[in-house]
Structure 1
């Protein structure tokens, strides 16, 4: 399951540094090419809430194998694509399978491991949640520099085939099935609501918050999700059980996970821009500079999971968020002369802190739920992470763009004194990046404050009372 989820989540960011080559090869614009990532995230985000319903109606073995098969079909289509339409179709089919992976993985892990070992199990999931997207740009840069962009998908095909074979051998039925009546209106509201919200926040980063399409889709998303929540609380068989928010620690874990995701996005979006635009490094090298941080998180996630099993989430989360704050503050002071070792060091410090927070706080939240609500809690927490990632990206890109635009010199200066214009333009870009990191620091500080409301280690059977008074 970890192998399947790893390659599925890896595909969220694998096109990041390959887009210029794809645009040139398929003769498309940047705005069109961006849909290869946006459509993947949208489809992924739409599928996650629906997965809570699928988990209860379809055998976990059949569901996992089917999701991997759908993902494989999408990968094959993408690998053989000769047109933008074919590549986009492949990406959407990939995402339909990938969207099922994380909630299913989380649900099954929490059911097959006892509570006292769930931290270690969920620590392994940290490899998937943060490590896979983090190495995506580096892997993508190396492949497109060395080979054709089609190899981004070709290398995944044998892994997916092997995983499907392994699932036939090793997967078992885990989740107790329920023959619930499907409420199709809820599916429509979920798809329209989460799809519109994700699209709105994703578009806001590029088009601005005042764009009519952004405003319209955000309003539609809010209305649909409000109707979805109202309907789920009224009907006998909800597709997504929002009563999970009655458990305080679960609600707190959702908020903290979302905040950490928003803070994490800051480095992953802004730092490559800094390394490429200010230092003039290639896309591959910018990804390579961030790889040590991703590797550190991959190593630390299982370790922090085991520590969680012994001491609980409180001090792990508090210390991790303090480290995240301390590791983000130096990026507020980036200059044109900041050495690259500085970037590598403090980016790794940030991810060390995140590894102490992300999975432990998610595990604490999921431990607060009774077993029959775990699949719904998993769908909710993964959906909120997707939305938080989109919101964080939109906010940081908006801040970066607005501060940069405000500081840009007059075009006339480029004619009279090109050197002075270039210097002022670089300063404006740096100010925008520093401002974006200031917002990321604020996110992290907010998370640090909230972490003090977690109890150190819950007693068995008191999962509904994790919040300190």
Structure 2
């Protein structure tokens, strides 16, 4: 039985694109939930394992670093094994790591499982965009991308609120089983709806380049974490920094000399790609940095519960979705540069406002500045 896209479209009829879009949204929402909901559980994890912030931040940053590395694996795995095998392998490993997180006995075990989850998220999420562009090639792609983006945006909007409530009532382990129903649904539905057309002649993965990249990313994170606790001239700090520089330099050297590089560095010769990369870096720092810092500040400094911290971010997430929708409408009338600059300035204003209010600010004032920042990010992300 053929399982390529034309065969699946013929088998399931004219509604196949809509069913596939729903499946891709569910899978992506599960990955986004896993990446953002952990932040409201960090104080509880820190108390349970008696660890400090420099070690606890690995639960968030380790996930994101592994997801970054996983993004480079996604295209290769999709080409060699097909979308179905790639997605199901990632989902199965994600489910297994979530279940193992429920029985860990040490902080390093939990961090290791979060890194595995991040790798799975990096492999699974890019498949959605590839398949949307392929299945909606004859029309409706813009609407499909809009619906997909709206669905995925609901995850970081609702995740902290739901996760905070679950942490208050069931403990920090709840954030690990929260995405499991969606993962199981995506796993089962993918057996029928995902195409499974791989090409075994695809060149083997450049494992050396991938290893150098992973080593460089995690050494850099280790350097930043240790620099918070110890002086920069201590070997445990500058040694990690030196290792990060050497590993990343080796990755660049390997990529420049490979016939099939893991990451084509020639892309950065294009001014448009360089500009987009810097904007994406800025937006990523703003979105994930604030998603990490705000719940941590609310619980450790202001004394809020996990549920209260999540509820403060709920209206901010809703406004981010509305701002993204309005920015999409404005993008047909205004330049993308104007929208990006305006959004980043609004987010900067929010960061300054949160720094200005200080300890003891009211719930409403903190919520206001968080909402301002999410509006700025929503305007910036859409162009």
TM-score bracket, shorter-length normalisation: 0.7 to 0.9
Q: Would the alpha carbon gap of residues 118 and 346 (structure 1) be closer, same or farther in structure 2, given more than 3 Å must change? A: farther
State the 1:118 CA deviation. 6.1
Residue 284 of structure 1, aligned match among 290, 300, 307: 307
Structure-to-structure mapping, 1:22-101, within 5 angstroms: 22-23=45-46, 25=48, 27-30=49-52, 34-81=57-104, 84=107, 87-88=110-111, 90-101=113-124
* Contact residue 39 and residue 296 of structure 2 kept, 8 A: no
For the structure 1 residues 116 and 331, does the alpha-carbon distance in structure 2 shift closer, same or farther, using more than 3 Å as the test? farther
**Which sections of structure 2, spanning at least 5 residues, go unmatched?**
1-23
Equivalences for 1:365-384 in 2 at 5 Å?
Answer: none
- The answer to whether the 8 Å contact 1:327/1:350 transfers is yes
Matching residue of 1:316: 339
Q: Which moved more, 1:264-273 or 1:161-170?
A: 264-273
C-alpha displacement of 1:310: 7.0
Normalising by the residue count of structure 1, what TM-score does the alignment of the two structures yield?
A: 0.65
With over 3 angstroms needed to count, the CA separation of the structure-2 counterparts of 1:106 and 1:204, relative to structure 1, is farther
Query: Alpha-carbon deviation of 1:253?
Result: 0.9
* Residue number among 210, 219, 235 corresponding to 1:212 in the alignment: 235
The 1-side partners of 2:96 and 2:326 are apart by 35
Is the aligned partner of 1:141 residue 2:164?
A: yes
Question: What does the per-residue CA deviation read over 1:38-81, in whole Å, with 9 as the maximum and x for residues that have no partner?
Answer: 54344333323333432332212221122111111111222344
Q: In 1, distance between residues paired with 2:146 and 2:234?
A: 40
Cα distance in structure 1, aligned partners of 2:159 and 2:227: 23
Moved more, 348-357 or 129-138: 129-138
Alpha-carbon spacing, 1:317–1:35, altered in 2? closer, same or farther (3 Å): closer
Moved more, 34-43 or 95-104: 34-43
Is structure 2 residue 266 aligned with structure 1 residue 243?
Answer: yes
Instruction: Find the aligned partners of 2:182 and 2:339 in 1 and give their Cα distance.
Output: 34
Q: Secondary structure at the match of 1:18?
A: helix
What are the Cα deviations for residues 282-310 of structure 1, in whole angstroms up to 9, with x where unaligned? 33312321221112223444554465467
Question: Residue 25 of structure 2 contacts residue 151 of structure 2 at CA under 8 Å; is this kept in 1?
Answer: yes
Whether the 8 Å CA contact 2:63–2:114 is kept in 1: the answer is yes
8 Å CA contact retained: 1:330, 1:346: yes
2:195 to 172, 189, 196: 172
**Change over 3 Å in CA distance of 1:87–1:321 after alignment to 2:** closer
Take 2:303 and 2:348, find their aligned partners in 1: how far apart are those partners? Answer: 28
Distance 1:115 1:310 in 2: 26
- Counterpart contact for 1:111–1:174, Cα < 8 Å: no
Secondary structure, aligned partner of 1:179: coil
Q: CA deviation at 1:100?
A: 0.9
- 1:305-384 equivalences under 5 Å are 305=328, 308=331, 313-336=336-359, 338-360=361-383
1:151/1:122 CA distance change after superposition, 3 Å: same
CA distance in 1, matches of 2:157, 2:241: 28
Q: Which moved more, 1:161-170 or 1:229-238?
A: 229-238
Structure 1 residues 119 and 293, CA gap change in structure 2 (3 angstroms): farther
* Residues 70-469 of structure 1 aligned to structure 2 (within 5 Å): 70-81=93-104, 84=107, 87-88=110-111, 90-113=113-136, 121-124=144-147, 126=149, 132-133=155-156, 135-172=158-195, 179-205=202-228, 207=230, 212-265=235-288, 267-272=290-295, 274-276=297-299, 279-301=302-324, 304-305=327-328, 308=331, 313-336=336-359, 338-360=361-383
- Cα offset, 1:353, TM superposition: 1.6
Shift of 1:255: 0.1
- Structure 1: stretches of 5+ with no match in the other structure: 361-469
**Residues 216 and 243 in structure 2, CA contact (< 8 A), matched pair in contact too:** yes
* Alignment: residue pair count: 359
